[in-house]
Amino acid sequence: MEIMDRHGYIEKNREIAQRPPGFSLTWRGVLKNLEEMGQLRRIQVEVEEAIVNRPNAKQSEIATEVNHSPMTVAAIIDMLEARGDIRVNRTVDGNVAIAQVTATLRRRVKEVDY
């Protein structure tokens, strides 16, 4: 767990207790898991296309459209946001909506032969 925590794949709960610590999977951990299963590229392409086709969509709408789990779509959206390919709006209740899609992402989806 220490190695996974150090690489940013999980986030451990920081509490002092006799039981083993709990943890949650980060977006990096979700993407690493998809990569190891050989599915990351395909799912990323599907999510990117959905974002470009519906630039103001909510995360839940994208997950429904591409038929992947909300956690998987959330991880890819977080990655795209971290890379600067999109900007998102986050609401207090946890909803995420795409606010802006960069020309770079639009070009990549349009020009690259997936």
Domain boundaries along the sequence of the chain? 2-111
How many CB atoms lie under 10 A from the CB of residue 4?
Answer: 17
What pLDDT is attached to residue 16? 64
pLDDT of residue 1: 65
- Distance, CA of 12 to CA of 55 (rounded, Å): 34
pLDDT tens per residue across span 52-102: 999 899 999 999 999 999 999 999 999 999 999 999 999 888 789 999 999
Q: Which value, in Å, is the radius of gyration of the alpha carbons in the chain?
A: 16
The model's pTM is 0.80
Rounded-to-integer distance, Cα 57 and Cα 60, Å? 8
Q: Which fold has domain 2-111?
A: Arc Repressor Mutant, subunit A (1.10.10)
- Higher per-residue confidence, 13 vs 60: 60
